[in-house]
Structure 1
Amino acid sequence: MKDSKIAIYVTEAYYLKEQLYGVSGHVQIPLKTTSLLSEKNINVDFITTKPKGANHLMIDLSENVKIKTVLHSTKKWPKKGVSLFRSFIQIVQLIILIKKENYSLIHFFGGYKTGMVAVISKLIFANKRVFFSPISEPEQIYTGSGFNFFRNLDLIISNSEFVAQKWKSFVGEHKSVVIKPGIVKNIIPIFNDGQRDIILFWRNADYNNGADIMISIVKQLAPVFKRKKFVFAIRPGSEFEHSINELSFKFTNVFVYIHPYENQITIEKLLSQSLLVIAPYRKLSINPQISILESLFAGVPVVASNVESNNEVIQHGITGIIVGINDSKDYVRSIKKLLFDPEFLRKLRENSIKQTREKYNWNSYIDHLKKIYSGN
């Protein structure tokens, strides 16, 4: 490994300065990985794409890290998908770069499109080690096609047991492992029980994130807990933004913050004042969901749906509560129970800080990754 030259690849690592608050988890982990490898004096390059006007990385990488870019092909949010022509150019540029730099190991991070780029790279450069860290379980486009080129990859490195197990059934037991990351943001838990009065939802207010479920929860609980604040911290243009704004007009204890937040509001500040984070997700954008990890790191118990990796990140009854998917009544019951039992809530808060940080941290992550890279 000492003489190896490694490349870390992820799309869209560059952001506009004003958007650095919301860097995707699929970008945070490879950025931090690159930074940690560099600190260990490992020869590593960082390859990414650069959307128009975006010039800022969430982490300032060492001068020892060479940052390479290939053509950006992803459509601008809220649009989804990629430009096929630009994707083709992107892959050609990447193949030329891999050949020129003569990397011995290329580690791809991302979703199924990035996974396909990893497969293409392995098919062309059979003598190089190619790893893929997927954000979710194998897409049906893979599993239903009858072709399984992913078996050609050297290893699938997941960040959750849920994803690792799903990939094991697809590529084989020995080709899927899990290493659990920490968080990138420097979130420090603040012990101010007397000042905590917020029940917080902080995600894009769309269907997959269960914004409609949260609306139903708030309609039932806001009239009951009038001294509690029900806060939505969301992106502009979200699917349920209008309905959430209507809630804030109906109830005086419902507040909506749309980024960029005003009055010096930050997610860190909201977390420091929160009793609970509510995460009624139907589908996760990444496993583990970084917003849940960050909430637990801040010492805020999370009430979340039993979807994908949530039940391994949240320990039911210890660091938070797991409820049924789409079950707003179960959410209401669970939240009421916690709000009526402050001692139990305090215990969950203490556990969420200690146990989550023990389980998810960068020291064990990078030690494990180095062993994998070394072939151990």
Structure 2
Amino acid sequence: MPVKMLLNKGKVPVKIYTKEVESSALDQLKNIALLPFVHNHVAAMPDVHTGIGATVGAVIPTKGAIIPAAVGVDIGCGMTATRLSIKANQLPDNLKAVRRAIEEAIPVGFAKHKSIRAKNSTIIALDKVLDKQIIGKHPAIAKMLKKTYQTWTQQLGTLGGGNHFIELCLDENQDVWIMLHSGSRGIGNVIGRYFINLAKKDMEQHITQLPARDLAYFTEGAKHFDDYVEAVHWAQEYALFNRREMMRLIIEAVRKPLPPFDITKEAINCHHNYVAIEEHFGEQVFLTRKGAISAYDGELGIIPGSMGAKSYIVRGMGNPESFCSCSHGAGRKMSRSAARRCFSQDDVEIQTQGVECRKDKDVIDEIPGAYKPIEEVMENQNDLVEVVHTLKQVVCVKG
């Protein structure tokens, strides 16, 4: 079976789907497993690596408590993909115009649209909850994000930075796909940071011993528990809308440089940094997937490789040992700073050959060589998911 390593140094075991785990990630997993409210075991996906606060690639079932740092600050970060009706041989020989069209339509990094691009009904629904029920109770959140309303409304339909991307891909049948990776942008970041710090302050007041300060948590029924649950679910919904809006804008943008096409498959849209209420091993739990996607039996998901590598549309197999989860991507094998030390701009050009993308020094930390081989990651989870489509990008827009 794909469980490659069993860690028995906590209150519950940790089942790890790879043998390639850095010692700092093992320490983080051990600390999570020491918490008294973790249910049955912790699962670590084959792309597992050290994260900020908690391990990326960890699936954590908890009873009566949630760890904000395990969810992280890019709340609701995830993937969406849509198949078009055109084939590879219908694409223009030079794809630079396609990349430029996407870059002009979608702000990246900290940028936002010049005006609100999302539906008015979406903005009204989101604003009602954020303004009255989240910021109304925690006004300090608004002070953490400059021009709060303008920023979150105009960032709907934008990419962000880091490892977020938009790609035009080809599958094994030479069908064309649009795929993207993004999350809850600036507003999700400040919500995450605010509640992570609030959990730490609450724990300090109660003098609760923790295996690591970053694992501060809210217990069910405590003062800020319900507020965090409401805020995190709002941010997850925002991230979902952000990806949908972005996909709509991208499809509009590429109609000019591409031949006429239809949308042949409804978009797959899945989170990989989030918390949900699910039932596992006979108990209802708060299941946190930090760098992992839901893989219930028959459920479709997306597992991207690095810039220049393959990606996969998968179907879940509902494996209970992984809490019906699988990896969210290839997973980093070196930090961003280490990648910048190890690789050059020439390396980027070599490793992204055949892909229309940026190849400048500012994307060195996203070079394929900084990530685990996606084929190995997929082999290590062959009883968690089955591959439906194998994608290879021909255009990549980075944040």
The structure where strand makes up a greater share of residues is: 2
When normalised by structure 1's length, the TM-score is 0.26
TM-score by length of structure 2 reads 0.25
Structure number with higher helix proportion = 1
